[in-house]
Structure 1
């Protein structure tokens, strides 16, 4: 009877009922879910990407999967509701000191997901608070090992190291840290001014280096151009000299061949043509008289033969020269 009367007592919200905590603060939550857990109505429909932790007589019984679920009346109780969706937790701004004693103000965003509803329900009292506090302490620890320059340059590595450290601790809580992102880094004002001066000096240095490199490259290009121009000019003069020498040699050869061919024809005409020798004698006499006439025009020295008035003797002397040359050639042939 006592048990039956106890069963007749209407169920009221107990002071030990834990309100539902959803990691995704941006997702709208109804007033009913904020105030109380889903009631045991024997037949329940579990939403997708949600895990309901059921206790039977105060002890963990099972985890309800999405879909239809049947509960024992009065014995089973939905004690925890865990969202299996990825959630973003904003890490508030905090101060951290680098290894070179620079105080930084930093905040971030942590992306987590419940992978074990049992551990998330019974492994930690407030998973969101615990993971946010762990993220803050881990971030301060990681920043304390780096200098200011490394913190600014290696933000991606810093995020990876913080995520790895959080996963080692959050594994016992059934939570997986997907990634951690540092939102803003606020150095002190004097450090910012020093960084601005350093950037300006670095840019001025790079500008001067680039300017000097430009002058150096310009001088090198001019010198290379002059060198190439002189080499090409000398090559052109060399080729011109070679071509002129080849042309002169070919001209001499052609002239010599032409002279030889002419002499052959003259000799053949003298030997084979009747009266050829007389014609040659007459031509020699004419050239002799012509050459003698040019002496007075082309030279300051005038040669006057003894018998200038006797033109016959002058022509006879020219023919005598031809006769002597002819006799010499005939004697050599014999």
Structure 2
């Protein structure tokens, strides 16, 4: 009796389980009734007829990734390269994904490999790296068109590695090394050129500064000499004006004559002391005439003060 109750209980639980179905978010279930498509169940709560309805396929609507294994591809110039990548796709039609193809994941992977080989075969090796984005775009476009009947949307494809043969890798390294050396030489030569230019500019500026300084010095000296000449001229003119004023006064001529005679005699005395042979001017032959002239001058000088 107890065993029968347990069996009945288990049967009831099984029937309830078969009757109630819950579809999670971002999923679709394909339902068949007696082996015939009966509908596609989206996320939610559903009742089913036990032993009549059944869930045949469960499809995930989230974006999925497929690793594309490394494969050997031959470029247009007959260079063998090993390429791998990753493919991103999502199911947009659960019915087509279930009945359009047996295994859409495997089929899409193989399609990605063949499409990639075809696209790489259109390019030469030197353009593979520079046109990587273009290759990815063309692979996605071709696969997406091919998988449309399967209810699959290919969102993107990314090449991960492009591995050329070892010999080509060595040649690429040598080429990069020579390119770096060439750029280093160019940088050094440009630095030396700039250094020479800066040095010449500095020397030129120094010469300009020296010439400007010399010019300013000469101008200052000329200004100084001009001022000196002006001062001397002014002083001389003032002295001459004073002499002229003194001469024009009463007794001025006699005073000037006395001054000139005195200076003349002083100079003559110096000559007589320093020279052994002296030539006496004819005007001094009559020394009496000299003193007579001096006497006249001295008698008139007091009148100047009057």
TM-score, shorter chain, exceeding 0.5: yes
Q: How does 1:7-26 map to 2 (within 5 A)?
A: none
TM-score, normalised to structure 1's length?
A: 0.71
SS of residue paired to 1:85: coil
SS of residue paired to 2:78: coil
Q: Post-superposition shift, 1:231?
A: 2.3
SS of residue paired to 1:181: strand
Q: Post-superposition shift, 1:103?
A: 0.3
SS of residue paired to 1:159: helix
Q: Which residue number corresponds to residue 178 of structure 2?
A: 201
The CA deviation string for residues 127-166 of structure 1, in whole angstroms up to 9 with x for no partner, is 1111111111111122112222221233333323322332
Q: Which residue number corresponds to residue 10 of structure 2?
A: none
SS of residue paired to 1:110: strand
Question: How far apart in 2 are the matches of 1:126 and 1:152?
Answer: 33
Q: Post-superposition shift, 1:48?
A: 1.9
Q: What value does the CA root-mean-square deviation take over the aligned residues? A: 3.4
Picking from 93, 115, 121, the partner of 2:98 is 121
Q: Which residue number corresponds to residue 117 of structure 2?
A: 140
Q: Post-superposition shift, 1:58?
A: 3.7
SS of residue paired to 1:160: helix
Work out whether 1:282 is the aligned partner of 2:258: yes
Q: Post-superposition shift, 1:109?
A: 1.2
Q: Which has the higher helix share?
A: 2
Q: Against the structure 1 CA distance between its residues 40 and 246, is the aligned structure 2 distance closer, same or farther, given a 3 Å change threshold? A: same
Q: Which residue number corresponds to residue 11 of structure 2?
A: none
| Residue segments in structure 2 that go unaligned for 5+ positions in a row | 1-15, 298-306
SS of residue paired to 1:55: strand
Question: How far apart in 2 are the matches of 1:144 and 1:296?
Answer: 126
Which one is further off, 134-143 or 109-118? 109-118
Contact 1:295–1:303 (8 Å) recurs in 2: no
Q: Which residue number corresponds to residue 93 of structure 1?
A: 70
Q: Which residue number corresponds to residue 87 of structure 2?
A: 110
The CA deviation string for residues 50-104 of structure 1, in whole angstroms up to 9 with x for no partner, is 1112234444333222222233444433221111122111111111111221100
Q: Against the structure 1 CA distance between its residues 271 and 192, is the aligned structure 2 distance closer, same or farther, given a 3 Å change threshold? A: same
SS of residue paired to 1:152: coil
Q: Post-superposition shift, 1:226?
A: 2.0
Q: Which residue number corresponds to residue 76 of structure 1?
A: 53
Q: Against the structure 1 CA distance between its residues 121 and 266, is the aligned structure 2 distance closer, same or farther, given a 3 Å change threshold? A: farther
TM-score, normalised to structure 2's length?
A: 0.76
Q: Against the structure 1 CA distance between its residues 223 and 308, is the aligned structure 2 distance closer, same or farther, given a 3 Å change threshold? A: farther
| Residue segments in structure 1 that go unaligned for 5+ positions in a row | 1-38, 321-334
Question: How far apart in 2 are the matches of 1:202 and 1:195?
Answer: 10
